Structure 1
C-alpha cells in the first residue's frame, strides 16, 4: 500500500510508510491532469500564434525552434523520459517497503547527484554550442548568419535543461504522492513567459527573435521555483547531497541507461526530422514545428495525462505483486487512449488546413506556409494513435523495472524511422519526414504490445467487443458530419479571423458533440470507464 504522506513537513518519521491512504481514482486523476494540461496547451497555441504572427516561418523562426528544440529534446529524453521512468518505480518501492527517512535520503541523494550532473552538462553545452548546432541542424551551415543566430540563442536556452530537469524531478515526487495538479499546471509558466517575451521584450532586442531565447531561460527558473513550496508542504523538500554510490541512485542510473532509448524514441525520431529538414528549403523546420504542435495537443492533454497517472499506480501494484490489478490498469489505459486518439487523429487529418488557417495564418505566416504545414500535420495525424499508445504501453515495462525490452524495441523503431526518412523525404519533402515518424511509431507501439502480451502482463479484459461496437459507429458519424460541414480551404483563406474562429468552434462542437451523443446512445456511460 502507499506510504502515509507527511503533512506540512510535520509528520513523525516513526510513522510506518505502509499505512493505507485513500487514493483518487485513475479516471479522476487523469481528468485533473488533462484539465491542467489543456490549459497549458491552449496557452501554448496562443504562444505559437504570437510567434507565427511576429516571425512567421522564416530564418529567425527556424533558428529559434532549433535552439529551443535541443534543450527541450534533451529534457524529454532525460527528465521526462529516462529519468522519470527510472525514478518513479524506485521511489514507489521505497514508499511501499521502507520507512520515511529512507525515502527522504533517496530524494536528497538523487537531487544532489542529478543537479551536479546537469550543471556539468550545461556548462559543456554552452561552450560547445557551435558543435551542437552543427549536429542538430547541419543544413544551417549553408547559411552562416542563420547558424550564428542559432548558436547565440542556444547559449541562452540550454540552461533551461538544468532548470526544467530539476522541475521534472520535483514533479515526479509530487506525482508519486498523488499530487498531479501542480506538475501538470507548471508548463503554463513557460507559455506565459514566451508570450510575454515576444510581446514586450522584442522591441528592446537588436535581433527581435532573441527575446524568445530569454523567455525560455526565465521560464525554467519560474517553473522550478513554483514547485518547491509544494514539496515543502508535504515535507519532502530536497536537501541535495551528492552520493554516486547510494543504492537508490545506482539503481536509478542502471535503469536510466537503456530507458534513454525506450520511451523517448518518438522524440529521437522528431529530432531526426529536424536534422533532415535543415537541408530542405527555408521554412521546413517551422512547418514541421507548427504541425507537430497541433498533434501535441491531444497527445499532451490525454496521452501523457493517462501515462502520468498510471506509472505510479503500476509501480505500486508491481511492488505489491498484484498481477491482476496491474493487467486491469493497462487494459483501462489502452481503452482510454482509443476513446480519444481515434477521433482526434481523424479530426486533425480532416481539419488540417482549417486549423492552421484559424490558429496561425496571420501577420508573417503566409497561405503557402499553411499549405506546407497541412501536409506534415496530416502525416503526423496518421501516427497519433501510435504516439499515444507508446505513452501508456512503455510504463508497463518501466513499472516492473524492465528497461531492456523497451530499448531493444526502441532501437528497431529508430532504425526503421531512419530508413523511412531517407526513402520518403525525396518524394514528399518535409511531409515525408513526418510520415516516416508516424509509421515507425506504429512499429514501436506494436512491438511494445506484443512484448507485454508475451510476458503475460497485458491481458484483454471483458467487454472489448461491446466497446468497439460503440466506438466505431461514433467515429463514423463524426467523420461524416465533418466532411459535410467543413467549408473549402479557399473560404478559410479569405475569411476574417472572427469567421474562422466561429466556423472552427462550430465544427468542434458538431464533431465532438455527435461523437459523444452516439457513444451515449449506444450505451457507454461514465461508470464504464472509471478505474
Structure 2
C-alpha cells in the first residue's frame, strides 16, 4: 500500500521509475555511479539497523531468564514508548532529511545549521513533557491501556517499572531521529553506526550492572541511558565539525521548557495520587474518560505555561 501511494505521487510529478527487465539494462543500471554510491552508503545504514536488532535480541534473551512475564512486561512498555518516538522523532526526521540534504547540496551551511537547530528545539519542546509523563504518570497509562483480562495488578506494576526506564531515555531516542539525518545529509552513514556499536557495548555493560538490582526494568533503563549517550555523542560530533552552530536563545528556551514541565509534573503527580487507577478496573469507561481529561488538562497546562513564560510557539513552528 505504501509503495502504491509513493508510486502514484511520483507519477503525478512525472518521476515514476522505469523498470528494467533485460539483463543488459540491469547491468548498465548496476554499473551506474549513482547506484554504486547508494549501495556504498546503504551498507553502514543496514549495519546500523542490525545493531539495533542485536540489542533487542540480547535484551529479550536476558529477559527470558528473569521472572516469568518479564518479556511481556518489556513488550507492553515498549509499545507505549514507541508512540511518542514514532509520532515525534520519525515525523521530524522525515521533514528534516530532505531539507538538510538540499542545504548540503547547495552548500548552504547556514540553512543546514538552522534546520538542525529548529529540529532540536522541537525535540526538547515535545519530548521532555512526554518523558515527564512516562516518569511520573506511568501507572494510569498502563492501567487504562492494558489492565484487562488476564493482566493482574502485579503485572501493571511491573510494566510501569519498565516504562519508567524508557522515560529516562525518551529524549535521546527522539533526538536520534533528528541528529542521525544530520550525518546522512553529509553522506556520512559510518559515524552513526560506529557510535551505535560502541553504545551497544555500553548498554550491555549497564545490563550486567543493573539487572541484579532492577530486574527487567534494568533492560529498558540501560537502553534509555544508551540512547542519551548516543544522542549526546552525535550532537558533540556535529558541534566539533562545525556543521551545527546553535542559534542564540537556547538558555532561555530551555528554562521555559523546564519551568513548564515542572508545573506539568506537579499536576500529573496529583492526578496519579488522587485516583486509584488500578482499582477502577471494573469501571473501564470511567477510567478512560478520566485519563482523557487528565491528558487534555496536561496539554493545556504545559502550553499555557510556555505562553506565560514568553515563548512564541507559533513563530517557532513556522520557522
Sort the Cα spacing of 1:388 and 1:491 in 2 relative to 1 into closer, same or farther, 3 A. closer
Sort the Cα spacing of 1:279 and 1:235 in 2 relative to 1 into closer, same or farther, 3 A. farther
Cα deviation for residue 376 of structure 1 reads 0.6
SS at match of 1:450: helix
- Corresponding residue number in structure 1 for 2:23: none
Please list every run of 5 or more consecutive structure 1 residues that lacks an aligned counterpart in the other structure: 1-221
Deviations 1:364-385 (A, max 9, x none): 3332221211111000111000
Sort the Cα spacing of 1:276 and 1:431 in 2 relative to 1 into closer, same or farther, 3 A. same
Sort the Cα spacing of 1:516 and 1:268 in 2 relative to 1 into closer, same or farther, 3 A. farther
Sort the Cα spacing of 1:304 and 1:340 in 2 relative to 1 into closer, same or farther, 3 A. same
- Corresponding residue number in structure 2 for 1:528: 316
* Correspondence list, 1:48-447, <5 A: 222-241=1-20, 242=26, 243-262=29-48, 266=52, 268-447=54-233
TM-score by length of 2: 0.90
User: In structure 1, which of residues 436, 440, 457 is the aligned counterpart of residue 243 of structure 2?
Assistant: 457
Cα deviation for residue 363 of structure 1 reads 1.7
Cα deviation for residue 409 of structure 1 reads 1.2
Cα distance in structure 1, aligned partners of 2:175 and 2:47: 16
Cα distance in structure 1, aligned partners of 2:53 and 2:309: 38
TM-score by length of 1: 0.56
Contact kept in structure 1, 2:135 and 2:168, CA below 8 Å: yes
Cα distance in structure 2, aligned partners of 1:451 and 1:394: 11
Contact kept in structure 1, 2:179 and 2:235, CA below 8 Å: yes
Deviations 1:406-433 (A, max 9, x none): 2221111111112112222232222111
Cα deviation for residue 231 of structure 1 reads 3.3
Cα distance in structure 2, aligned partners of 1:441 and 1:497: 35
Cα distance in structure 2, aligned partners of 1:415 and 1:276: 15
Contact kept in structure 2, 1:259 and 1:403, CA below 8 Å: yes
Contact kept in structure 2, 1:261 and 1:410, CA below 8 Å: no
User: In structure 1, which of residues 498, 509, 524 is the aligned counterpart of residue 285 of structure 2?
Assistant: 498
Cα deviation for residue 261 of structure 1 reads 4.2
Contact kept in structure 2, 1:261 and 1:411, CA below 8 Å: no
Deviations 1:284-331 (A, max 9, x none): 222111101111111111111111110111011100000111001001
Matching of residue 507 in structure 1 with residue 286 in structure 2: no
Cα deviation for residue 225 of structure 1 reads 4.1
Cα distance in structure 2, aligned partners of 1:264 and 1:346: 30
Cα distance in structure 2, aligned partners of 1:492 and 1:510: 21
SS at match of 1:499: helix
Cα distance in structure 2, aligned partners of 1:266 and 1:291: 17
Cα distance in structure 2, aligned partners of 1:253 and 1:481: 51
Sort the Cα spacing of 1:402 and 1:414 in 2 relative to 1 into closer, same or farther, 3 A. same
Please list every run of 5 or more consecutive structure 2 residues that lacks an aligned counterpart in the other structure: 21-25
Cα deviation for residue 405 of structure 1 reads 1.7
Cα deviation for residue 227 of structure 1 reads 4.1
Cα distance in structure 1, aligned partners of 2:53 and 2:267: 34
Contact kept in structure 2, 1:421 and 1:433, CA below 8 Å: yes
Deviations 1:127-148 (A, max 9, x none): xxxxxxxxxxxxxxxxxxxxxx
Contact kept in structure 2, 1:323 and 1:457, CA below 8 Å: yes
